Amino acid sequence: MPPRFQTARFHTESGPDSLFTRVRYILSEPVQLKAHGTHVSERLEQRGATFETLTRFDPGSWELVSAEVRTDTGKWVKSTWRVRADERFWWVVVGLGNALVTVIDVDPQRRGTGKAIVTGGLLYARVDAVNQELMRGT
């Protein structure tokens, strides 16, 4: 089944800053992530992840890595955070409604700045403008 909408990924190192300000605003408080669905349960089990640790989201000690937005609206839909747990480094993908999307066991040096990251252009400018406007309304 194809996704309901297309997304684009942005990285904290290349911005836009307004997007990451918005993500940090939305996810500003510690919260228990909701881990529903077969995909999430399977990934946690397959990767030997500690459910209790990786669902206890804490923006004060987790590092924001990237954010994905809808290409049609420029609005945030999920973000990836780096956390060290059980002597391993994890990327934890958090979606709307504090939903745990997936977890990925990663090399501590991995930065996530590959070719899929949007670093400029019309979409970049639109996402910046949309998120600046959203932050003005908060």
Q: What is the pTM of this model?
A: 0.92
Give how many domains the chain has, as a whole number.
1
Residue 138 lies in a domain: no
pLDDT band at 137 (very low <50, low <70, confident <90, very high): confident
Residue ranges making up the domain that contains 70: 7-133
* pLDDT tens for each residue of 73-90: 999 999 999 999 888 999
| pLDDT > 90 fraction of the chain, expressed in percent and rounded | 70
* pLDDT tens for each residue of 9-19: 999 999 999 99
Residue 102 lies in a domain: yes
**73 contact partners, CB below 8 Å, separation of at least 6:** 130
Q: How far is residue 67 from each of residues 73, 85, 94, 103, measured CA to CA in Å?
A: 14, 21, 9, 15
- Residue 37 DSSP label: S
Query: CA 85 from chain center: how many Å?
Result: 17
* In the predicted structure, residue 1 carries a pLDDT above the cut 60: no
- How many CB atoms sit inside 10 A of residue 93's CB? 21
Residue 49 lies in a domain: yes
